[in-house]
A and B are shown apart, each in its own frame.
Chain A
Amino acid sequence: MPDIVVKTEDVVKEYRMGSNVLRALDGINIEIERGEYISLMGPSGSGKSTLFNMIGALDRPTEGQVYIDGQNMSNLSQRQIAAFRCHRVGYIFQSYNLLNVRTAHGNVTLPMIFAGIPDKQRNEKAEKLLDKVGLGDRMYHLPDELSGGQRQRVAIARALANDPSIILADEPTANLDTITGREIIDLIKQLNIEQGVTVISATHDLKMLDVSDRIVDIRDGLVERIRNRDEIEIEIGEVGGHE
């Protein structure tokens, strides 16, 4: 039996804008297995980032349920949701979302502070993680002193701080040039393989295709289709041909 880590049941999200109601998600049903690399693809406004927020407990669905590790997220207390965000998930955002007042090292230690990890232990771990993402020599720089790619590396190190079982990446390469974007994708893929982390990434970067196990195409708030790796591989040839 597959080990399902994320499951959504008829997830609907509506946003109220004055008297208008925008239905960003219109009943999403997906299942994601542990250790998978999943890309949520779709044009801007398709609802992929909204779905990303639902899976990461960053927003509440209007209707429907999200299950993580078999646990219904709507039944969790505030404290459990905070613990979930702290321990189970590592978030990576398009705009990095680093705290500008903290150094790279300070950003990586923050989730560990929230987890109650002692000073010495968290400092050592932050150093190890920053080393791993190739920023060993820029640990004590503020985000403003780092390039886009370096900032995203800090965000990746921060996402890994509490050994999460899921990495959620929302357009992690959108603000980066092609080569840097490629490096970031490779780094995330490496974590997926080496540490068995489930990666769920909202993207419209075609470079993400060849590292994904499955691609969930989202359009108008619905799952349009789900493609497996073997189907993807054929299309990569086509994509490559157009580049």
Chain B
Amino acid sequence: MHQHTRIEEQIDLPFLESLRISFQSLKIRFGRSIITTAGITLGIAFLVSVWTNNEIDLALQESGRSSTIANLEETSEQGISTKDIWLIIMSLIVCVVGIANSMLMAVTERFREIGTMKCLGALDGFVVRLFLLESGFQGFAGALIGALIGTLGAVALGLKNYGLDLFFYFPLLPATPEDAPMRIGVLLLILFGCILGMLLAVIGSSFPAWRAAKLPPAEAMRTEV
């Protein structure tokens, strides 16, 4: 029984403990996690497929085997069309908004849980760290799957357009920088997709998690979604 007057300071939890709690939480709310992760997967798959598709078209066009390409109008000197740049930018926006929305919803519906954890002695920083870890895992897993799906989709389309020639001229590595800064190659594109998905998920969840963690518990628990 604590009868002494001095109120001590709350301790920081070891990182491993946070890791364990966030894994547990992801595992138990698996169904819900899958839906949030699917949001990330779709966003990244869309972006990566559009971009990879573009790289494939350009690589094949350069190889001189692009007789089947239909959409080469407006091709600039760098070999990337305005339409494609637009498409990539649009898919990036869709991806950012989609992921931010998924994460925002996923955190907001857990305000009560955040309030409860604070009642039990959780520090604000711990709550935020928990959400960053969870969203980081989700972001990375979702984005990796999305990047792979996107690449496969683009490859399938490439196969349809170019047949097996695709594999001889597949843009796995970046084109020379002076060619075009946006042609980073499929490998880097997958890596970029993963990092982007993870970053967006972490940023998308950190803001609401931080806001909820700062609220007095009574207010966080009152929040209705």
Contact = CB atoms under 8 A, between A and B. Distances in A.
B210 to A, nearest CB: 14
B102 interface: no
A114 B121 contact: yes
A79 B118 CA distance: 11
B216 A85 contact: no
A161 B45 CA distance: 46
Contact of B13 (A68, A93, A116, A197): A116
Nearest to B120: A111
Interface in A62-94: 68-71, 76-80, 82-88, 91, 93
Interface size class, chain A: 35 or more
Which of B7, B9, B216 has the most chain A CB within a 10 Å cutoff?
B7
B9 A111 contact: no
Interface in A33-70: 34, 53, 56, 58-60, 68-70
Nearest to A89: B119
B216 A101 contact: no
Interface string B109-123: 000110111111111
Contact of A80 (B3, B10, B25, B221): B10
Contact of A87 (B2, B25, B118, B119): B2
B29 A165 contact: no
B119 A53 contact: no
A115 interface: yes
B218 A83 contact: no
B41 to A, nearest CB: 22
A231 to B, nearest CB: 29
Which of A58, A77, A100 has the most chain B CB within a 10 Å cutoff?
A58
B180 interface: no
B11 interface: yes
Interface of B: 1-11, 13, 17, 21, 24-25, 28-29, 112-113, 115-124, 126, 216-219, 221
7 contacts: A58-B216, A59-B217, A69-B5, A83-B8, A87-B121, A102-B24, A115-B11
Given A91-B120, A197-B1, 9 more contacts: A69-B7, A78-B123, A85-B121, A86-B120, A97-B112, A101-B25, A110-B120, A114-B126, A115-B11
Closest 8 CB pairs of A and B: A86-B121, A82-B10, A114-B121, A59-B218, A83-B10, A58-B218, A53-B218, A79-B9
